[in-house]
Chains A and B, each alone.
Chain A
Amino acid sequence: MYRRILLAVDGSFHAEAAARYAIHLACACGAELFVVHMGESAAGRESVDRVVWYADSRGLDVHGIVETGAVVPAIEAIVRREQIDLTVASLRHFFKKTIIKDLMASLPCSLLAIRVAHLGRLTHLKKILVPVIGGMESDERAYLTSKLANVFKGTVTALHVRMVSRSGFMRLTHEKKDIARVHARKRVKEFVDTLSSYGVAAEIKTAIVSDATDAIVREAAAGKYDLIILGASRRDFLKQLIRGNPVERILEKAPCDVIVWRPVK
């Protein structure tokens, strides 16, 4: 699925820490890797060199690209020119007003934004949490999850988050929760089955909550997960104004690394 992967680095330590995901993913997919830095800084060039050297040492077909100019249009041009399937970039502990946000809006390929939070467990991602809100599943997500699980030898938990209002939460009985869990399993089954077809078995959990963000962060903290794979969702202005952006809130609160994935347009 991913034959050509673009990795964007900006010369920061954080971007290099996140680069390992792209490298391991490229290894797992047998993909060609393009390491790109936009700008003229020495740190950026050195960063590209280090990543290329490391990827090369892993036997990857890797290319270093350093260009100047406006970041988003230039990366978009490289994506189109090199027929990139997946772009990977590091994400800080926030999402708002970042280049990633602009890349998500413009790039024609799939995109992974990676926020590295815990440097003590590098490449030791034993537990992966995949929250599923509603039914936004696809084969690509299962493929990506399975590749990451295989490469890190991690276990996957699909967390189905079922939203109820606060007053609805007050009225929930255990019987109603059991019914909701059964219902949730059906909703997640397609994703889990696809994952299984890629050779990865996943545990299913259900959270019946009034706040999805809290539920995901709570599960990540309680289960000591090492990585959360989130699907990016487009929210209209009004919804964002009223309820905020859940990705933003998870990035701020999550106690582990977070990958925000946006499928190919």
Chain B
Amino acid sequence: MRRHRVASGEVIAMNINELPTDAVYAQLGTSPGGVGDDEADARIHQFGYNEIKKARKTPLIYRFLAQFTHFFALLLWIAAGLAFLGEYLDPGQGMFHLGCFVVAVIIINAIFTFVQEYRAKRAAEALQRLLPSFVLVIRSGNEKKVNSRDVVPGDVVLLSEGDLIPADARVIEQYGLKVSNTSLTGESKAVKRSAEPTFEEEFVDNPNLVFGGTTVAAGSGKAVVFATGASTEFGRIAQLTQTVLPEPTPLQREIHKVTRIIAVIATIMGLVFYILGDIRGNAFWINFSFAIGIIVANVPEGLLPTVTLSLAMGSQRMAKRNALIKNLNSVETLGCTTTICTDKTGTLTENQMTARKIYANRKVFEVSGTGYEPEGDFYRDGTILTDQEIEELVPLLSTAALCNDASLVEDGGIPGILGDPTEGALAVAAQKAFDIDARRSENKRVSVLPFDSDRKRMTVVTESGGKRVAWVKGALDSLLPCCDRIMAGGETIELTAELRDEITETCESFARGALRVLAFGYREVGSGGYSVEDTEKDLIFLGLIGMIDPPRPEVSDAVRRCKDAGVRIVMITGDDSVTASAIARDIGIISDDPVVITGSQLKDMNHSELVERLEAEEIIFSRMTPEHKMRIVTALQERGEIVAVTGDGVNDAPALAKADIGIAMGIAGTDVAKESADMILIDDNFASIVSAIEEGRGVFDNIKKFVTYIFASNIPEIIPYIIFVMFPASVGYLVPLTIMQILAIDLGTDMLPALALGTEKPEPDVMNKPPRSPDKRLLDRALLARAYLFLGPIEALAAMSGYFWMLSKSGWASGALYVSDIAYRKAITMAQTAIVITQVANGIVCRTARGAVHRIGFFTNRLLLVGIVAEIALQIFIIYHPIGNTILNTAPIDISDWLLLIPFAVFLFVAEEARKAVMRHVRRSGNR
């Protein structure tokens, strides 16, 4: 039994990171010469290949075929089947054409819906791409190049700069080895690896471990593989990303529900009117075609493709506002978002450290300017410093410039930095006082004592004019004990206890203002070797510089808009609580006393406690890792929240996939995060999320607008049938509007204006309302009443008036009409034209749900204008072209006949605008 050590009676818990090298070999059944080739083959059989298996996907063809079998489609199949059956049993009744039309509708719907749902989940492929194809291992004592798929636990992997690491492994030898875990954590800074046993509580935090999918940034080394394939950290994330079943979006649920409701209503109405006709003694085929007509008239055939296109148009508008939508359904979900879980750095802030305050010569100064732009001034008590006054800052700023590895660069005219952001901020601050390149040239670097996390200091020794000076910077608590004097008023005086207190208090006041503070000191040194102990002592304290990663200027306004819109913002950051709270307060996320939960507190918290704590209105999660996000998102969702989450690292991918809206950063985001997200922020800017929410809310309103538009025309399509069944003699024993005409309206003239309504911009008050409740119905009473009881009857009145007027004009008074009668053909043409003309007015009034149309401008929706023109052009074709006449049995009417119908459209417009005005007045009165 290969074991490192055993204590009698107790299991000794030893992770691979806690073992010395020889025990690592023993535990993994290997040696410095690696495993043998035969053993490697055996281990492939035992542990499997080192690969991340892709989730099984439903083949595309099945997904396409599924579009023909959903409830909505099944209903239309039945209608088509009945029509074909009718044609077979009694040819020549036009049933064949009807059947073909319905089948065409099913196919069009299927294609559109399939395109909508077709979204390749490529996260697994993206993860797979991060694994190398070949790696160098030691097997049977020899170096060997093997396919990364064949790497097994116990393999000794050779690592060198630029290599992709094939699996999770324990480092056993290293020479300046640094790895970049960017692909795993999003952290861009390379981290050192060691070969010594380490004892970090969190397994992945141990610096003697390397993980599959990450890269060797510098140095070289050897590591023994302990986990492959699905057992690696990458494998775990892949499982999470692939197996997270996204919750159906509120709109998907609603459409699911609406289609069933409509289908049931249509079927019941069809059956009821069939039975009524039968009771009245109508012929079977009349009742039969009537029933199908009722069903077809009631089913809004264009609904699904119109919803799809509306979402697509919404996503296009979002793209213009820097939010790239990957999943169309997410567009509307954004409108329901109740909580945004956002990162801080780079999303709420600029991700550009900037020096804001300076303490030097026992005085506090302010620094102006933003980001890495080396323009700005120095102030004291609100007064700008003169060049002479700036001189007293020069020793401090010189230290900031010389004890600094960052340099200032320009990329396409945009100022930037090369190096650590904090050092970059110091260089920029110094550049505002003098030319740092010239200063660095004058002071040649002689030696460097690099920063390390134990002593928290960095020292640079420079030489100028034969004089050598050690410039030191570091955290105040580590630097102040190294100082015995202070520069004040141009003189060097003793650093007394009072002065130390003053410095400490100043530092604390800077920190309370969310500033990251560094202290600076210097001393003259002799030539020779420079050890930490001999150099970083007896320093002269120069002062403090406080820096901040400032909030993006547009974020405060975006936060305010979120609050107005009833959307809660939860900050999840890796920063400490003080910094996180200060930034959150600065930009308005918190105002009172927020609940602050740290990473370690969250770790000790059980699920129900977390759910309970999330009730707080203002909450900040500090010192969080991406791992924690998934927990927070799950808990929020269990509270019934619709959650949007931002993320950039691979570790964020599961939370992004789990969230209702996963938002990946376009600039800082890894490929895997982008693959898992529903939306990508092109500019990484929080304000773009808020803009996207505004668009999302507009989409639901728009869907309601065109549903109202489509439903309103159902009434004038049904009323003629009802009159025909109830009072057949009054309409000449023929239907005043044929089934083919209904289809021509629903799938022809109505289509473009309906689509155009989906492109309406959000109404101005859309962000002044709370988020739409997921329980709020698309087909609510108000919508149905507006469409069926108000707009629809006006259109029906127009249609029937047109029909009777034309019959009267043609001299018909009573008696049976024939399908081929010119009077009948003109009359049905008139009825259809009446519907089309009133639908033009309907399209215009449907542009707003509450506000007056003239307030948003009559010509602001160009697509609607195009749609109206196309609608009228198609109707002209139907009336005046022989092909249109043949298909729909229509006949040309006079221009004067059109003029008769226009007053109905005007009446509809005026009546609806008056209704809206009354509703606004009632609402205002209610608010008072």
Q: Are B640 and A174 in contact (CB under 8 A)?
A: yes
* 0 or 1 for each of B616-635: is its CB under 8 Å from A? (1 = yes): 00000000000100110000
CA distance A117 to B654 in the complex (A): 21
**Given known A-B contacts A153-B13, A171-B256, A16 and B2 have beta carbons under 8 A apart:** yes
**1/0 contact string of B220-241 vs chain A (CB within 8 Å):** 0000001100111001110110
A121 touches B16 (CB 8 A): yes
A252 contacts B230, CB within 8 Å? yes
Q: List 8 additional A-B contacts (Cβ < 8 Å) besides A152-B13, A222-B240, A253-B53.
A: A93-B47, A93-B48, A119-B27, A120-B17, A171-B253, A255-B232, A255-B235, A255-B236
Task: Answer yes or no: A50 CB below 8 A from chain B CBs.
Answer: yes
Is A210 an interface position by the 8 A CB rule? Answer: yes
- Distance from B170 Cβ to chain A, minimum over Cβ atoms (Å): 7
A257 to B: closest C-beta gap in Å = 9
11 contacts between A and B (CB under 8 A): A16-B29, A20-B1, A59-B8, A118-B231, A120-B17, A123-B12, A123-B13, A174-B638, A211-B245, A222-B240, A222-B631
Is B227 a contact partner of A117 (Cβ separation < 8 A)? Answer: yes
**A96 proximal to B (CB < 8 A):** no
CA–CA, A13 and B154, complex, Å: 10
Query: Which residues from chain B contact A214 at a C-beta distance below 8 Å?
Result: 243, 245
How many angstroms between the C-alpha atoms of A217 and B15 in the bound complex? 23
Q: How far apart are the CA atoms of A115 and B626 in the complex, in Å?
A: 29
* B631: chain A residues within 8 A (beta carbon): 222
| B253 in contact with A170 (CB, 8 Å) | yes
Given A117-B230, A203-B606, A214-B243, CB of A51 within 8 Å of CB of B248: no
Which residues from chain A contact B638 at a C-beta distance below 8 Å?
174, 177
B241 → A minimal CB distance (Å): 9
B654 in complex: contacting residue of A51, A123, A222, CB < 8 Å: A222
Q: A12-B42, A93-B48, A169-B248 are in contact. Are A118 and B227 (CB under 8 A)?
A: yes
CA of A230 to CA of B15, assembled, Å: 24
- Asked whether B283 is an interface residue with its Cβ less than 8 Å from the other chain, the reply is no
The docked-state distance in angstroms from the alpha carbon of A174 to that of B637 is 8
Cβ of B203 within 8 Å of any chain A Cβ, yes or no, is yes
Q: Which 6 A-B pairs have the closest CB atoms?
A: A54-B1, A14-B46, A214-B243, A120-B16, A93-B48, A120-B226
In the complex, are the beta carbons of A19 and B1 less than 8 A apart?
yes
Q: Give chain A nearest CB distance to B429 CB in angstroms.
A: 43
- Quick one: which of A124, A205, A215 contacts B13, CB cutoff 8 A? A124
Contacts of A123 in B (CB 8 A): 11-14
CB nearest neighbor in A for B35: A13
Contact with A along B1-44 (1 / 0, CB 8 A): 11100101101111111000000000111000000000100110
Cβ-based interface call for B332 (8 A):
no
Q: Of the candidates B1, B48, B236, which one forms a contact with A221 in the assembled complex, judged by CB atoms under 8 Å apart?
A: B236
Considering only residues 182-216 of chain B, those with a C-beta below 8 Å from chain A are 203, 209
With a cutoff of 8 Å between Cβ atoms, the chain B residues found around residue A153 in the complex are 11, 13
Q: Which residue of A lies closest to B7 (CB)?
A: A58
Q: Which residues of A contact B775 (CB under 8 A)?
A: 173
Instruction: Specify which of A59, A117, A203 lies most central, judged by the most chain B CB atoms within 10 Å of its CB.
Output: A117
Q: How far is the CA of A82 from the CA of B414 in the complex (A)?
A: 81
Collect the chain A residues with CB atoms within 8 Å of residue B28's CB: 119
B168 touches A120 (CB 8 A): yes
Contacts A119-B226, A120-B170, A218-B243 known; A13 to B27 CB distance under 8 Å? Answer: no
Q: Give the residue of B8, B12, B16, B48 whose beta carbon is less than 8 angstroms from that of A119.
A: B16
Contact B227 A218 (CB under 8 A): no
Tell me if A198 counts as interface (CB < 8 A to partner B): no
> What is the bound-complex CA distance between A263 and B92, given in angstroms?
71
Contacts of A253 in B (CB 8 A): 53, 230, 239, 243
Q: Say yes or no: is A57 at the interface (Cβ < 8 Å to chain B).
A: yes
Q: Return the contact of B239 from the options A13, A51, A151, A218 (Cβ within 8 A).
A: A218
Contact partner of B607 among A13, A170, A205, CB < 8 A?
A205
Q: Which residues of A contact B776 (CB under 8 A)?
A: none
CB-CB under 8 A from B8, the residues of chain A are: 57-59
List residues of A (200-222) whose CB comes within 8 Å of B's CBs. 203, 205, 209-211, 214-215, 217-218, 220-222
Decide if B15 touches A209 in the complex (CB within 8 Å): no
Question: Knowing A50-B2, A252-B53 touch, does A119 contact B227 (C-beta < 8 A)?
Answer: yes
Q: Which residues in A have their C-beta under 8 angstroms from that of B6? A: 54, 57-58
- Is A256 a contact of B239 with CB atoms below 8 Å? no
Task: Judge if B244 is at the interface, Cβ distance under 8 Å.
Answer: yes
A24 lies within 8 A of chain B by Cβ = yes
Complex Cα gap A151–B203 (Å): 21
CB-CB contacts below 8 Å: B49-78 with A: 53
Residues B237 and A221 in contact, CB atoms below 8 Å apart: yes
B239 pairs with A221, CB closer than 8 A: yes
B374 within 8 A of A: no
Q: How far is the CA of A53 from the CA of B6 in the complex (A)?
A: 12
List the B side residues contacting A203 at CB < 8 Å: 606-607
Quote the shortest CB–CB distance from B8 to chain A (angstroms): 6
The answer to the question of B153 belonging to the interface, with a C-beta cut-off of 8 Å to chain A, is yes
Question: In the complex the two chains form, is A152's CB within 8 Å of B15's CB?
Answer: no
A122 on the B face (CB < 8 A): yes
Inter-subunit contact B14/A124 (CB<8 Å): yes
Do A121 and B15 have beta carbons less than 8 Å apart?
Answer: yes
Whether A63 is near chain B, meaning CB under 8 Å from some CB there, is no
Pick from B14, B39, B47, B630 the residue with the most CB of A within 10 Å. B47
The docked-state distance in angstroms from the alpha carbon of A227 to that of B606 is 19
Whether A92 sits at the interface, judged by CB under 8 Å, is yes
